[in-house]
Amino acid sequence: MLYIIATGQAGFDVTAGFASNGYGEHSPGGYSLTAALVTEIVMTFMFLMIILGATDKRAPQGFAPIAIGLGLTLIHLISIPVTNTSVNPARSTGVAIFQGDWAVSQLWLFWIAPIVGAILAGVVYRWFANDEQT
């Protein structure tokens, strides 16, 4: 569906990136591999911390979607200039397949970083949670 919408613009070129995640010359702001890796790990970590906290049985019921949605919005505002924001390997894979060239070769980072960030968030959240929660 997104492809159909995007191709409705005159001069649209899928090989130009199609909002693919990237680093180096393919970063919207020209950020390095290291900057992209740290950004994606930290942003995924923060996103998972928000999700875990908002859905914790001790959190007020019914507010999780607000916290998660606003958190994801902030994460995108911070990291779109760095990598076009991943924090989700499926999102990165979809557009990389459409782009096909450099996006596929850089895709490894947008799988590894979110997995590392998520694992770290799980460990840290469990560490911060009290014994009755875990």
- Percent over 90 (pLDDT), the chain: 69
Tell me the percentage of the chain whose pLDDT exceeds 70.
Answer: 93
Residue 131 confidence (pLDDT): 54
pLDDT surpasses 70 at 134:
no
Taking only the tens place, the pLDDT of each residue in 27-71 is 999 999 999 999 999 999 999 999 999 999 999 999 999 999 999
Domains and CATH numbers, the chain: 19-128 (1.20.1080.10)
pLDDT at 11: 80
pTM, to two decimals:
0.86
13-46 b/e with 16+ CB inside 10 Å = b?
eeeebbbbbbbeebbbeebeeebbbebbbbbbbb
